[in-house]
């Protein structure tokens, strides 16, 4: 995974490739059997009001136990399963948002990750639209975070997918922003509503002045474009305070909460101040 330009791991002719091909079979079966799940990490604003959740994939392997989400994503991308896996994530995250709405948490925005490879699937916009319809959700209740597990394809199909999703009204955000020249190119190329700062920048913001300078510049750029600036991996109050001073507007991290199963997430919301539905006044107290 550390290679900048790597060959698909399932094509390797060594022990790693052998294990990867076996794991790909396991992943396909896990999707079919409903063995995957999503956990949800809260996003808070500078007033510690919960404004959204990010849906994060979890795979508890029958033999190996909990596995890193990037493993499942990499296998799915290399093995041609990413559209199937991504479709499951979209459907499950929207279904969870519908259940939260029924509990009164309609003001929360549900973010979910989309692989750049999914943008090459012509069915992606309609897949999102159907999931919204099944859950009775407004498009702006959902935010798609475009990850950089792969480079975003420079293709008409990818551009068309972005245009169609924007027309539907789904919010788009750019994940891991700030650690490559591609970030600025993507910001110019696509209409995004949020920028999530690369975690390596926010982790060390207190000890590396260059990180603080980069974050300050990103925040200024975001303010100019009218987009939210999200900092993740926030673990201490001094770190959070520095990120607020630099211009970040939303925060995720263990300072507030780890990613939680749905039931535990609801308990967390009940104990917190939560943003209200559009058009209402004041935060909802669960």
Across 196-207, average pLDDT: 91
Question: 222-240 pLDDT, tens per residue?
Answer: 888 888 999 999 999 999 9
Contact 58, 39 (CB under 8 A): yes
Question: Has residue 5 got a pLDDT over 70?
Answer: no
- Position 183 scores a pLDDT of 67
Of 212, 155, 209, 152, which is closest to residue 178 (Cα–Cα)?
212
Residues near 107 by beta carbon (within 8 Å), at least 6 away in sequence: 51, 274, 275, 276, 277, 278, 280, 284
Contact 242, 212 (CB under 8 A): yes
Question: 68-104 pLDDT, tens per residue?
Answer: 998 999 999 999 999 999 999 999 999 999 999 999 9
Q: What's the DSSP call for residue 286?
A: -
Residues near 146 by beta carbon (within 8 Å), at least 6 away in sequence: 114, 116, 119, 152, 172, 173, 174, 175, 186, 190
Contact 59, 67 (CB under 8 A): yes
Q: What value does the mean pLDDT of the chain take?
A: 89
- Position 1 scores a pLDDT of 43
Look at the pTM and tell me if it is higher than 0.75: yes
The percentage of the chain sitting over the pLDDT mark of 90, rounded to a whole number, equals 67
Question: Has residue 188 got a pLDDT over 80?
Answer: no
Can you identify the CATH homologous superfamily of domain 37-68+80-192+256-285?
Answer: EAL domain (3.20.20.450)
**Largest pairwise CA distance in the chain:** 61
């Amino acid at each position: 995974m550390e290679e900048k330009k790597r060959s698909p791991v399932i094509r390797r002719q060594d022990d790693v490739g052998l294990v990867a091909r076996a794991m790909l079979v396991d992943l396909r079966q896990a999707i079919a059997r409903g063995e995957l799940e999503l956990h949800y990490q809260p996003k808070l604003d500078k007033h510690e009001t919960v404004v959204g959740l990010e849906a994060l994939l979890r795979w508890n392997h029958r033999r190996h136990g909990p596995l890193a989400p990037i493993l499942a994503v990499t296998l799915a991308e290399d093995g041609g399963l990413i559209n199937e896996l991504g479709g499951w994530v979209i459907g499950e995250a929207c279904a969870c948002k519908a259940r939260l709405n029924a509990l009164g948490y309609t003001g929360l925005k549900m973010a979910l990750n989309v692989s750049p490879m999914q943008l090459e699937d012509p069915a992606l916009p309609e897949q999102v639209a159907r999931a919204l319809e099944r859950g009775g959700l407004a498009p702006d209740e959902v935010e798609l975070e475009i990850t950089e597990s792969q480079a975003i394809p420079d293709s008409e199909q990818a551009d068309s997918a972005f245009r169609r999703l924007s027309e539907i009204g789904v919010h788009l955000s750019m994940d891991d922003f700030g650690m490559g020249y591609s970030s600025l190119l993507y910001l110019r190329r696509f209409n995004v509503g949020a920028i999530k700062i690369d975690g390596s920048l926010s982790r060390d913001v207190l000890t590396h002045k260059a990180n603080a300078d980069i974050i300050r510049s990103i925040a200024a750029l975001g303010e100019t474009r009218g987009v939210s600036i999200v900092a993740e991996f926030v673990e201490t109050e001094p770190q959070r305070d520095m990120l607020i001073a630099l211009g970040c507007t939303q925060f995720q991290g263990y300072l507030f909460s780890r990613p939680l199963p749905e039931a535990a997430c609801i308990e967390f919301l009940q104990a917190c101040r939560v943003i209200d539905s559009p058009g209402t006044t004041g935060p909802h107290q669960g």
